[in-house]
Amino acid sequence: MKPFLFSPNPSYNIASAIDAAPLNVQNAPSMKCPLCRTAGFSLVEVTLALGVAAFCLLVLLGIMPTGVKTQQTSIQQTTANQIISQIYSFLRADVRLPPGQQSKACGDNDPPDGCDWGRLSGHWRDRRTPDTLYFTNDAKQLALNGSAPPNAVFRATIAYRTPPTETTALATIRVSWPAAVDPDNGGVPAGSVKATIAVNR
């Protein structure tokens, strides 16, 4: 260590004091800045994280078609139940229509609009073969019997139980889709809903 010499020049005294200051080597590591050590992810950690994210995305993409198909089936079943409700309402109302009032079955609709409810009048009592009706995707009636119209989505088959009595007459309604597939002739529909109703009770 250099000896400290006092001089009348102040600047020289400061420079000499700095040179004469002892160097503490033991405290040197503690003087390092803690921010100098930067935290981060290694390449292996990033690769594993990307692998897990890709696996989750693949699972989600695999579930999506099933979810869409389930939702579509649910919508079609709801529409089929609406069609069954319409048919049931008409057949129950037809029992109460006075003779000569069959034209009231369509309400305010004209026959050119595709309403054939009036042609079903009395079938619950007289008809021995099933009736077939066709409906659009929004449950609007298109035609009665015959072949399926091009825009038909649902096929409704009404099978009347015979013989009817004065107190009860039963009918089985089956709504299936797509309309072009006939379950009675060996066709396999994508879905169907079936219900048995009491027409006259």
What is the tens place of the pLDDT at every residue in 2-25? 554 555 555 555 555 555 555 555
**Using only C-alpha atoms, what is the Rg of the chain?**
43
19, 26 Cβ separation under 8 angstroms = no
Determine how many CB atoms are found less than 10 A away from the CB of residue 87. 24
Task: Please report, for the chain, the start and end positions of each structural domain, with discontinuous segments joined by +.
Answer: 60-198
161, 194 Cβ separation under 8 angstroms = no
What are the backbone dihedrals phi and psi of residue 107, each rounded to the nearest 5 degrees, phi first? Answer: 70, -130
Q: What is the mean pLDDT of residues 30-43?
A: 65
Q: What is the mean pLDDT of residues 85-108?
A: 68
**CA count, 13 A, side-chain hemisphere, 103:** 4
| Cα four-point dihedral sign 178, 184, 188, 191 | positive
Q: Give yes or no for residue 29 having a pLDDT over 60.
A: no
Of 27-31, 55-59, 113-117, 166-170, the range with the highest mean pLDDT is: 55-59
